[in-house]
Chain A
Amino acid sequence: MIISFLHTFGVWLAAFLTLAIMSFLYKDNVVYKLAEYLYVGVSAGFWLIYVLFFDVKPMIVDTWMNNTGIDRYMLIIPIVLGILMLTRMVPSISYLSRIAIAFTMGISAGLGVMGAIYGMILPQVKATMLPLNNIDNLLIIIGVICTIVYFYFSKEHKGIIGGTAKIGIVYVMIAFGAAFGYTVMARISLLIGRAYFLFHDWLGII
């Protein structure tokens, strides 16, 4: 009985919150603001849950308890870095957080360089080297070159460069149009999802 009540209450609460957010479409109002602040609060709570139980507990506490010797004591390094990161909250010693930030930025940058070159640039350039045995391949190669020229602003877009850039604009506009079409589809899909919840889970008419 309690479970059934909780289920019904939950569906009605979810429906109320859905309609509260949708009320913004008419105009900004108190109900919408309440729902918005509730969303921020619940999200903030979730971030704390995630730090405690997806990071600190499994990666520090459990690892410390389950290991011995050097494997255990090496954990002191990320613990110290984590504490240094938290000094950002105290203005008088916030400069210490730069050490932790520098560590994370250095790792990200190091991974980023190799990822960008070997994961993105080289495979994409390789994939552009297509055999010129059909019109589609030729169009792709022209598109890549002309788009890169279009975004090259160190030289004035005149003469050959200007002409190439104009072709680049054509490709870019076609791509952005396709992106707009897909974006419309995406946004409508999200509305369909919420409408399905309202009509199926809440009102039961589907």
Chain B
Amino acid sequence: MTEKERGATFLEKLNNLDRRIIFVLVFCLVSLPMILKLPSQVTISPEVKKAYDYIEALPEHSIVMFSVDYDATSMPEIQPMALAMMRHAFSRNLKIILTGQIAIGMPLGTQAMEETAAVYGKKYGVDYINLGYRPGYQAVIVAMGREFRDLFANDYRGTPIDNYPMMKGVHNYGNLGCVVVLAHGGTVENWIQYAQSRFGVKLIIGTTAVGAPDYYSYLQAEQLVGLLGGMRGAAEYETLVKAPGLGLLAMAPQSWVHMAILGLILLGNVTFFLVKRKAKKVEQK
């Protein structure tokens, strides 16, 4: 085989690289920075700062509703956001009402709230409450605009919510400082359409990086007061509340893999065009 032929074969091999090599590369680039605990710093984006500033400005003892609209499929992105934002709320002596639109995500929200409440010595029924989940998506969101008790007469364990001191005089969105929607999908549009536009609810959205680009339009239209997108958004909020967690830890592996994927795209294009050019030359001969 001549040198030229060997070169063409190598290019073609590179062009048809076994995807399992790429899989191993990606896994190594994710694992190594985490194991080596490479530090990362993030600059704060305006949309995350807006969310932070809004919660920071709420008067003490204001009530913030957290809606758990995600599940384990987006847990790595949204759970760090939930923890950071709940830490912020409890550190400001705000009260939390937890509910959700995705049933299978409620355990994650419950876990985040109980974990964070324990750190700050908060008491159930006085500082936070878990209303649980009801089916119906938009129906639930609209009904909560009038009276929580029509759907949530009891909390998630079946105790009447009127038994809890923090629910005295709390009936609907009008008694809340804001609603933090932690969502991986279409429930954000429901919250905007039915809570924000109908009842003037102040909404902060924490969502996956897949969904975040869609919500910049709502932020610009001032239908949202803040937006956290993906693990980067979680990392930024962790930086603001000075509580580093999985969000910040993930920035180093994220960097490495992004660079690798960009490199792969560049390599893929270069080999593709080189192979195409060689094929054209062979045809012309």
Residues of A near any B CB (own CB < 8 A): 25-26, 43, 46, 50, 54-55, 58-59, 62-63, 66, 107-108, 111-112, 115-116, 118-120, 123-124, 126-127, 140, 175, 178-179, 182-186, 188-196, 199, 205-206
Contacts and interface: CB of A to CB of B under 8 A. Distances in A.
Contacts of B158: 58, 62
Interface in B217-242: 217, 220-223, 229-232
A192 B231 contact: yes
A119 B135 contact: no
Contacts of A183: 209-210
Contacts, number: 143
B133 A199 contact: no
The 8 closest A-B pairs by CB, nearest first: A193-B76, A119-B193, A115-B193, A127-B221, A186-B209, A119-B197, A189-B231, A185-B209
Contacts of A62: 153-154, 158
Given A115-B197, A116-B193, A119-B196, A189 B213 contact: no
A111 B221 contact: no
Contacts of A195: 27, 30-31, 34, 253
B132 interface: yes
Q: Is the interface of A mostly helix, strand, loop or mixed?
A: helix
B250 interface: yes
A58 B154 contact: yes
Interface string B241-264: 000001001100110011001000
Given A54-B135, A191-B26, A199 B194 contact: no
Interface of B: 20, 23, 26-27, 30-31, 34-35, 37, 73-77, 103-104, 132-135, 138-139, 142, 151, 153-154, 158, 189-190, 192-194, 196-198, 208-210, 212-213, 217, 220-223, 229-232, 246, 249-250, 253-254, 257-258, 261
Contacts of A188: 26, 30, 253-254, 257-258
Nearest to B194: A115
Contacts of A112: 138
29 contacts: A50-B135, A54-B133, A55-B135, A58-B154, A66-B153, A115-B138, A115-B193, A116-B193, A119-B189, A119-B193, A120-B189, A178-B213, A182-B213, A182-B229, A182-B230, A184-B261, A185-B232, A185-B254, A186-B210, A188-B254, A188-B258, A189-B250, A189-B254, A194-B76, A196-B249, A199-B31, A205-B35, A206-B34, A206-B37
Contacts of A115: 138, 190, 193-194, 197
Given A118-B197, A184-B261, A199 B254 contact: no
A120 B193 CA distance: 6
Nearest to B76: A193
B185 to A, nearest CB: 12
A116 B194 CA distance: 9
A189 B34 contact: no
Contacts of A127: 217, 220-222
